[in-house]
Structure 1
Amino acid sequence: MFHPIPFHRSLIAAFVAVCLFSISHGEETKTTSPEPGKWVSLFNGKDLEGWTPKIRYHELGENFNNTFRVEDGLLKVRYDGYDKFNETFGHLFYKDSFSHYRFRVEYRFLGEQCDGGPGWAFRNSGIMIHGEKPETMSRDQDFPVSIEVQLLGGDGKNARPNANLCTPGTNVVMNGKLFTPHCTSSSSDTFHGDDWVTVEIEVRGNEVIKHIIDGKTVLHYNKPQLDPKDAHAKELAEKQGGIQLSGGTISLQSESHPCDFRKVEIMVLEE
C-alpha cells in the first residue's frame, strides 16, 4: 500500500539533496575553475591527481620508470629507475588550460644528475606555459610547443641566472621587436645549493608575461606566438587559425636532474 511521506520529512530530504548537490558542485568548481583572485594549490600532496605525464618515446599517461612521484608530501622528479637518460625528456601536464593567472612553485634541486643527461641539463628544469595539449604531441617529441620559464641551479662557483626564457616552437616580442633566440637569460641572482627557491609567473593572455623571483620581475615580454618556421608549430597554427598564443597548458619538466616541488599554486586573474 502507498504511504505518503509526511511533509516535514519531504522538506528534510529535499534540503539534504540540495546541500549534497551544492557541495559536489562547489568542489567541482574549485577543481576545474579556481576562483579569481585566490591562490589555489594544483598539487594535493598525496598523489598525481589532475596531472598526466608525457615522456619522450612513451605513450601519453605512461609514467616511465616512475619518473614523477609523490613522497613525503612532495612532488618529486627522480631517475633511480634509469640506466641512462637517453634524452628521455618528460613533462607532467595539468589537466586544465589557463590564460590570465599568476603561477608559482617552490622547488629545489638535489642529488646527482642522471647518467647520460646532457651537460646543459645540470640542475635544470622548467615550467612550460601557453603549451599545446599533450594529446597533440607525437610519441617521440622532446618538448611541447610552449613558452618555458627555465628553472636553473648554480654549480657553486659560476653565475647562472634563474627564471630564464626558452621557446620550443615559439617566439615572443621583447622591447617592441620579434625576439627569436631560443633561450634568454633573466636578470636574477644565481641560486646555489639545495635550498628551496620560489619562482612566480604572471601571465595575462597575449598581453604580457613576467618572470618573478622574491617579488622582483627579472624578465618580461609579450605577444607569445607560434613559430611558423617550426613544422609542428605551423601545424598547430593552422588548426587554431593563427600564430598568437593567449593561453594553453601548464606542465613541469623532467630533464635529467632530480628535483622536488613542494608547492604548485595558481591564482586566476580577471581578464
Structure 2
Amino acid sequence: MNYLRLSAAGLLALALTFSQHTQATSTAKPPKGKWENLFDGKDLKGWHTYLKAGQPVSDKWTVEDGAIHYAGGRGAGDLVTDKEYGDFELELEWKIAEGANSGIIYHVNEDPKYPATYRTGPEMQVLDNERHPDAKMGKDGNRTAGALYDLQKPVTPNAAKPAGEWNKARLVISNGHAEQYLNGKKTADYPTSGPEWDKMVANSKFKDWEGFGKYPVGHIALQDHGDQVWFRNIRIREL
C-alpha cells in the first residue's frame, strides 16, 4: 500500500512539473526575428509610392551615394514598404536639408479612403529644429525631431544633430507599446492603444481623424514633405 501511495505521489509530482513546464513554454515570448535590410543601397526594390503599388516611383525619389534621397518639391508622394509590419524594431539613419521637414510613419493602412500615410500612421518627426517653424509649434516640443509628432513631448529633448549631419533613429513597437530613440537617446515612450493613447490623440490635431492610430499592422513610410531628406542603413526585424 505504501509503495502504491508513493508511486501515485510521484506520478502526481511528475505531472505537475510537466504541466508547469508546458505552460511556461507556451506563454514564453518567441525569439526575435532576424534583421532584414529594407534598402540595399542600390535601388528602391521593396518600396512603392503610397496608393500606387506596381507603378514607377517618382524620379524625385532617387538613390544617391548609398542613401534614399528625396530631391524636394511636392507631388511625388510618400515612399512606403511593400510589406506590412506589426511588432518590430526598426533602425535607420536620416539627414535633413536646412529648413526641411520629413517623417518616419508606421502602421500605415494603404486604403484609398485615406489620402495620405499620416491619416492612419503615427509619425516619428524628422526635422531641422533650428530653422523649420514646426519646431516651435505644437506643445512642449512635440513636433521636434525624434518626437512622436504632435502627440508627446520628447522624453529627451534636443537629441537631434544639426541639418546636414546624419542622425541614427530607432523605433521599437512591441506588445502595444512603443519606444523611439534618436542618436542613442530615448525621445518617446507610449502605448499604441488603450485609454492613455486615446487621451493623447484627443489632445492632438488628429482627434477627429477617422482611422488614425487604429491599425496594429501596416506599412512603414518615408514622408514627402516637399523638402530634401536622405535615409540610409534601413533595417528591420519583426518581434
For 1:223, the equivalent position in structure 2 comes to 192
Distance 2:115 2:217 in 1: 24
8 Å CA contact 2:114–2:120 kept in 1: the answer is no
Q: Which protein shows a greater Rg?
A: 2
Deviation at 1:188, TM superposition (A): 2.9
1:125 alignment partner, one of 102, 127, 130? 102
2:181 alignment partner, one of 212, 223, 234? 212
Matched, 1:155 2:140: no
Cα gap change, 1:95/1:153 in structure 2, threshold over 3 Å: closer, same or farther? same
Structure 1: runs of 5+ lacking an equivalent: 1-34, 112-121, 167-181, 235-242
8 Å CA contact 2:105–2:118 kept in 1: the answer is no
Which amino acid is 1:103 matched to?
L
SS at 2:118 equivalent: coil
Structure 1 runs of 4+ off > 6 angstroms? 156-160, 225-229
Identity among equivalent positions (%) equals 22
Which structure has greater strand proportion? 1
Distance 1:137 1:144 in 2: 11
For 2:36, the equivalent position in structure 1 comes to 40
8 Å CA contact 1:90–1:142 kept in 2: the answer is no
Cα gap change, 1:194/1:149 in structure 2, threshold over 3 Å: closer, same or farther? same
Matched, 1:71 2:64: yes
Q: Deviations over 1:200-243 (max 9, x none)?
A: 001014x2100112333221110337979646428xxxxxxxx8
SS at 2:41 equivalent: coil
Deviation at 1:104, TM superposition (A): 1.2
Deviation at 1:37, TM superposition (A): 4.0
Aligned length: 189
8 Å CA contact 1:89–1:255 kept in 2: the answer is no
Deviation at 1:246, TM superposition (A): 2.4
Deviation at 1:245, TM superposition (A): 3.4
Distance 1:145 1:94 in 2: 15
Which amino acid is 2:170 matched to?
E
Structure 2: runs of 5+ lacking an equivalent: 1-30
Which amino acid is 1:154 matched to?
N
Q: Compute the RMSD of aligned alpha carbons.
A: 3.2
Which amino acid is 1:123 matched to?
A
8 Å CA contact 1:54–1:63 kept in 2: the answer is no
The two structures have a TM-score, normalised by structure 1, of 0.59
